[in-house]
Amino acid sequence: MSAQAGHGASVRIEACGKTFADGTRALEPATLEIARGETLVLLGPSGCGKTTMLRIIAGLELPDAGGRVLFDDKDMTAVPIERRNVGMVFQSYALFPNMTVSDNIGYGLKIRGIPNKERAARVAELVALTNISGLENRRIDQLSGGQRQRVALARAVAIRPGILLLDEPLTALDAALRDRLRGELNRLLRALGITTIYVTHDQSEAMELGDRVVVMQKGAIAQIGTPREIYFTPRRRFVAEFIGAANIVEAAIEGGYLVLPGGRQPIHCDVDMPAAVAMIRPETIRVTSAGSASLSGTVDSVSFIGDRQRLVVSGASNRLLTVDAPNTVRVRLGERIGLSISPDAVRLLPPEN
Amino acid sequence: MSHKSFVWLCLLPLAVLTVAFFLLPMVRLVVTGAEGPQGLAGYLAILSEPRYRATLVNTVLLAAATTVVTLIVATVAGMFLQRHRFPGRAVLIAMLTFPLAFPGVVVGFMIILLAGRQGLIGDFSNRLFGEKLVFAYSIYGLFLGYLYFSIPRVILTIMAAVQKLDVGLEEAARSLGAGPWAVQRDVVLPALAPAFVASGAIAFATAMGAFGTAFTLATNIDVLPMLIYTEFTLAANFSISAALSVGLGIITWFILALARSFSGSAVAATG
Ligand SMILES: Nc1ncnc2c1ncn2[C@@H]1O[C@H](COP(=O)(O)OP(=O)(O)OP(=O)(O)O)[C@@H](O)[C@H]1O
Ligand SMILES: [Mg+2]
C-alpha cells in the first residue's frame, strides 16, 4: 500500500462543454481544477450533467470544441480512455460476466502484460483490501450487490490509476449497506491517496467523502467549496436548498433587521433592501418563551425523530419555518413560541430570477 | 375426474399425434435401413462404402464451411448495421433479409443466373479474360447458395444480440487499457457466443439437409440429401436411402444437441 500512497495525477478541465448530437446541451463550458490526491465530489440532481463531466474527464466523451482536459498539465483531450490510466467504477458496475472475480480484478493487469505471478499477488492484495476473500473464483452472477461494488472498486484500483472516477457507486445498494460501504470507501480512498472524482446525487455522501464538493445545476457549476463552505455559506438559493434542509426567508431589511410577520430578526447587513432573500438552517433556530422574544410563531406540527424533533412554525416568516429542536424541549401544538436565531446563522442570498 | 387424469386426457391427442406422425415413420425408417441385403450392416455401408463415405464427409464439410463463413460475414455485417446509423440503412437491412422469403429452388435459380453458363459472372470474366467462369453446378455453387440462404437468418440473430450488448462492459474494458481488438476478444465475442451457437447450429442443420437448392443446381452434386434422393428414386435402393437418412438425422441432431448444451453453459456464463 505504501507504493500507492501519493499516487495520483492532478486534473484540470478548461472550458469543457458538451452538446450531444441531438442538440442536448448537457454541460455548459466548465473550468475546474483538482489537486493531486484530492477527492472531489460532483453533486447535483438527476440530469444536471454529472456523468457527462465524469465521462469527459475519463475520455469516454469528447468535450465541445475549445474544451481541454489536462492531467498533470499534459493535454489529454485527444487521448482515448485506454491510454489515460484512469480507474473507473460504473453505476451498474459493468463487471465482465464471462470472467471470475479474480479475472475481473486482474483484467487491467493482464492487458498491460503483467506476468501471471505478479498479477496474482496484486489481485490477492486487492481482494484483501476490499474484504472479498473467499469469492475469488465466483462468477459475477453469484455475488451480492455489495460484493459486486467491491469487485468493481478492486478492478479499477488494480491498475494503479492516476485518477479514480466513480459514478454513483453506492446508488444501487440498499440504505444500510450504503452507509456502511460509504465509511469503508472513505477510509480506502484516504489510504490509497489517488486523485478521486466521485459522482453522486446524495448530499450526505458528498459531504462525507469530498475534500471539495462541486454542486451542479442544469449543466453548470453552481458552487465549488469544502463541505462546510457549501453548507454554511451557499452562494445561491439552489445550493442552499439542495444541501441539507434550509428555510428560505423573503423579507425587507431595515436597519440591520429582517422585517418578518412574526417580528424582527437581526442580520449582518447594513444596507436596507426592500426584498431580500435569506437562508436559515433549521438547527440554528433556538426555541424560547414567546413573551420576551423579538421573533415568534405558532407551532403547526411536531415530528419526533428520536435524536431531535422537527417543528413546523407558522406566522413567523412569510412561509412555514422548519425548526430542529433538541428532543428534550416540550412544545405543544398551537403553542406560541419564541425563536432565537443568531445573526451569524442568517445567510443573505442573492435575489434570483 | 381428478386433476391428474384430466391432464393425462389432454395429453392424449398429443400422444396419438406423436406416435402416428413422428414415432411410427421414424421406427419404420430405422427398420427399413436394416432390411437391405446386408441387414443391419447396411448402416455400416454408409461408412465403409467409399462413395457414401465421401458424400457424408463432403456434406459435413460443406455444412461446416457454410456455418463458419456465414458466422463471420453475418457478425461483421450485423455488428456494423446495429451500431451505425446512415442513410439507406433500413433499405439495406430489408435487402439483406430478403432471401428469407425464397425457397431453395429460387435460391438455386438465382445462383444459376449469377454463376451459370449464361450467368453474370461468366459474362464478366469472359469479357475480362476471354474465359467463362462457371461454377453454379458444382459444390461451390451450392456453397454460395447456402450462404445466401443462411446469412440473413444469422444476421438477424446477431443484430438482436448486439443490440442487447452492454456498452458499459466495453467502456469498462477500455478504461482498464483494452484496445479495440482486446475489447472484441474479451468482451464482445464472449457476450455474443450464445447467439453464435444458436444461429450457427441452425445454419449447419439447414446446410446439411437443404435439398431444393442442390436439386435445382444439378443432380450430381455429392451431398447427402441428393444421394438419398438418387438412391431412393433412381436406384430404388430403399434400405440404403433409409440408412443414409438416419445417418443424416443423427449427425444433425448431434450437432444441434451439442450446440444446445454448449449454449446452455455459455448463457449461464454470461449471466
Ligand atoms: N448520449 C446522449 N445523447 C443525448 N443526450 C444525452 C446523452 N447523454 C446524456 N444526455 C443528456 O444530458 C443531460 C445530462 O446527463 P447526465 O447523464 O450527465 O446527467 P447526470 O447528472 O449524470 O444525471 P443522473 O444523476 O440521472 O445520472 C441529460 O439531460 C441527459 O438526458
Ligand atoms: Mg449520471
Most confident residue range from A14-28, B108-122, B202-216: A14-28
Query: What ipTM, to 2 d.p.?
Result: 0.84
Chain segment A193-245, per-residue pLDDT in tens: 899 999 999 999 999 999 999 999 999 999 999 999 999 999 999 999 999 88
User: Is residue A51 in contact with ligand 1, taking CB distance under 6 Å?
Assistant: yes
Measure B164 CA to nearest chain A CA, in Å: 14
Indicate the average pLDDT of chain B.
Answer: 85
The candidate with the shortest Cα–Cα distance to A93, out of A168, A194, A184, is: A168
The candidate with the shortest Cα–Cα distance to A330, out of A299, A296, A285, A292, is: A299
Chain segment B187-230, per-residue pLDDT in tens: 999 999 889 988 998 899 888 888 888 888 876 678 888 888 88
Q: Are residues A87 and B175, on separate chains, in Cβ contact within 8 Å?
A: yes
Chain segment A49-93, per-residue pLDDT in tens: 999 999 999 999 999 999 999 999 999 999 999 999 999 999 889
pLDDT value at residue A1 = 37
User: Is residue A30 in contact with ligand 1, taking CB distance under 6 Å?
Assistant: no
Kindly write down the DSSP assignment for every residue of B154-184, as one continuous string. Answer: HHHHHHHHHHHS-HHHHHHHHHTT--HHHHI
Distance between CA atoms of residues A200 and A51, nearest Å: 9
Chain segment B43-76, per-residue pLDDT in tens: 887 888 888 888 888 899 999 999 999 999 999 9
Question: A308 has which bridge partners?
Answer: A326
For ligand 2, a single-atom ion, which residues have Cβ within 5 Å? A 51
Q: How many other CB atoms are there within 10 angstroms of residue A63's CB atom?
A: 24
What's the whole-model pTM score? Answer: 0.82
Residue type at B100 in one-letter notation:
L
Secondary structure letter of residue B49 according to DSSP: S
Q: From ligand 1's centre to the CA of A212, what distance in Å? A: 23
Q: Are residues A81 and B173, on separate chains, in Cβ contact within 8 Å?
A: no
Q: CB–CB of B184/B55 below 8 Å?
A: no
